[in-house]
Chain A
Amino acid sequence: ETGVTQTPRHLVMGMTNKKSLKCEQHLGHNAMYWYKQSAKKPLELMFVYNFKEQTENNSVPSRFSPECPNSSHLFLHLHTLQPEDSALYLCASSQETQGVTGELFFGEGSRLTVL
């Protein structure tokens, strides 16, 4: 248990569907992140939220839409995705984005398959 919970763990969707990934952290952290993990590639940072405000959008296509209603919850809304968007989507949290340690606490990920 890392204190970061992601749902669903697995998701299969068609290219015309709309779905959402959810992340919740129970660590009292102020920063939350979405990462994409594709096979044989490094983890790619997608979005960063600090105190509910988006502080980083790493040139992510608009078919991915993040939402952070409070410091404990983070969503990733998905619509009209492409097969190449199939990947493991990891949520993480940290005390703050410019934290001294920089340590991130990751959830177990949502495995997304786009047909």
Chain B
Amino acid sequence: GESVGLHLPTLSVQEGDNSIINCAYSNSASDYFIWYKQESGKGPQFIIDIRSNMDKRQGQRVTVLLNKTVKHLSLQIAATQPGDSAVYFCADLMGGKLIFGQGTELSVKP
């Protein structure tokens, strides 16, 4: 069956360093991917998305990379800040439904 998974459930980084959060997906027909951020006590919030006809997309301090060959997605956060501490989910869109991965909890050490 279809699945979306993250490589590590937790990630700890030093403030100011770059963070890389990884995600693998199983459905080669997936054509749209989204990263969400969920802070404690809040619902998930959209960060950035990417379509399968792209391999890289940049936002403000965030970059998403898509490798369709190995069905791998990554979120890079530049100059990680304490406010980036949250759980990060990748999701792929198939048949009008978003399928979410399990999430990686990012902790930022001062």
Contact = CB atoms under 8 A, between A and B. Distances in A.
B32 to A, nearest CB: 6
A40 B45 CA distance: 18
Interface stretch (B56-64, B66-74, B75-83, B94-102): B94-102
Contacts of A90: 43-44
Interface residues of A, number: 22
Contact of B97 (A2, A56, A101, A106): A56
Contact of A42 (B43, B46, B103): B103
A102 B32 contact: yes
Contacts of B41: 108
A7 to B, nearest CB: 13
Interface string A1-31: 0101000000000000000000000000000
Contact of B102 (A42, A45, A105): A42
A104 B42 CA distance: 14
11 contacts: A2-B45, A42-B100, A43-B89, A43-B100, A56-B97, A90-B44, A102-B93, A103-B34, A103-B46, A103-B49, A106-B45
Given A42-B89, A104-B44, A104-B46, 20 more contacts: A4-B43, A41-B102, A42-B4, A42-B102, A42-B103, A43-B44, A43-B100, A45-B97, A45-B98, A56-B97, A90-B44, A101-B49, A102-B32, A102-B49, A103-B34, A103-B49, A106-B45, A108-B42, A108-B43, A109-B43
